[in-house]
Structure 1
Amino acid sequence: MRRLVPGFLKNDGPIIPVVRLQGAIGMNSPMRQGLSLANTALPLEKAFSFKKAPAVALIVNSPGGSPVQSRLIFQRIRDLAKENEKDVLVFVEDVAASGGYMIALAGDEIFVDPSSIVGSIGVVAAGFGFTEAIKKLGVERRVYTAGEKKVTLDPFQPEVPEDIEYLKSLQQEIHEIFIEMVKSRRGDVLVDDPDLFTGKFWTGRSAVDLGLVDSQGDLRTVLKKRYGDKAEPKLISAPRGLLGRRAGVGVGMGLGGRSLTEGLGSEVISAFEERALWMRYGL
């Protein structure tokens, strides 16, 4: 078909595949799509399969989430880049924080808007305690376990200092892994700043000065400047199934024996948790 298109209508510039990585990480639910390796693997593999493309562009817009899924996505990008000998250009939109920044580290170069939010290199765990609430309601909770630590950090029981220390030790391990990734990918340009790995976050403009990212720039401008005015970005999405749903995304209610009411309750909690992540960065 391309041969039948008149010469003046042809775009002879390189096609640059683009994959959008947006949303909280690892927070998939029946009605909501978060980022995970399961629902990003196919578009990533398709993007890196463009033989003539000089690079793959990734748009990252995520406040973070699961450190495991963040690292799995990061690793898949790096593996594909090595296998296909492609440069990876990352473009941050509103935010690349925590796990979102971990994914952005997969880029050979990271571009930001001056008002993007970048960083938050740390680990957090949060929850609620309901011990006083169930007392007032007159509720008696009964839990039976084999293994004395099976109810560690149970929100319906008083906190145990030993359990909190154990949780913090796990967080410290994950934090160290994150720091190692940052130093491995950005160590040659990072500024020696005492706040760098404290969980603090910065604007895109400040992140450039700190070496967390490379420079300011938007996708179209950077691609045309680097690969010519005829460079054509091509958005790659997950293929749709027979019902028009994106592959890798669970949809439906009452899965796993849950009732419709339970499904709705889960959706409300999931939506609240995701919204809280975005709000942390003023978004």
Structure 2
Amino acid sequence: MKLGFIGTGNMAGAIMGGVIKSNVFKPEEIIGADLFAPGREKVKELYGINVTDSNKEVIEKSEVVIFSVKPQFYADVIQEVKDLVRPEQLIITIAPGKTLAWLAEQFGKDVKIVRTMPNTPAMVGEGMTAATPNEHVTKEELDYACKILSAFGKVEVVTEHMMDAVVAVSGSSPAYVFMFIEAMADAAVAEGMPRAQAYKFAAQAVLGSAKMVLETGKHPGELKDMVCSPAGTTIEAVGVLEEHGFRSAVIDAMKACVDVAKGM
């Protein structure tokens, strides 16, 4: 097998779907392990990959292994499989708070590790992933890891000290955006718009606005000003958001997110 997963939850499934759809790997080249039988059977049915209940089997059979279990299980999983990890094997982690130094200590030997932080839009091929390698990963191996990660969205290589900020700005931020979409839709419903239509209008507005930031290269403030006509509806709404501390609330929320990430 070329690619293995320890853990077959939502993020693992998003990565599997992305690499298969992008033809980076074929289903038969992928194996996933999960102690939860319904979980592993689900990805087997969805993607046609090989599955097992043995983490050790994934290590033994894979060239690249993605650790996609929850952060609190990392220590136990590494303890279980570390003696089987081979010098040439590439390990990709996706756990917030688990630093390269912590991971190296857990493995207790030289291991090629790429620490990453993806987000849930990977499930629709629009993920944003940060990656940082340890000193044992070559440029070619990092490029290979980025090829895997780019199969379900965009990827940027960052220095490790930026990882906690990444958790706040992309890892957790889809939740903030979903809340914003929900609130906008609720307001539209209050004005008489059907619920399903309100979600569509709100979500498409967010999607289009994000695309403008990415594709025009203009500062978000400049794009905001383009919408705000003098004495118009938009500037009135912006004023209300400012009155209620919209931007400061977002900044404070992200700081709280970073604080928790640092303590994990």
TM range (shorter): 0.3 to 0.5
Question: TM-score normalized by structure 1?
Answer: 0.30
- Which has the higher relative contact order, 1 or 2, with Cα contacts under 8 A spaced 6 or more apart? 1
Task: Specify the structure having the higher radius of gyration (Cα).
Answer: 1
Question: TM-score normalized by structure 2?
Answer: 0.32
| Structure showing the higher helix proportion among its residues | 2
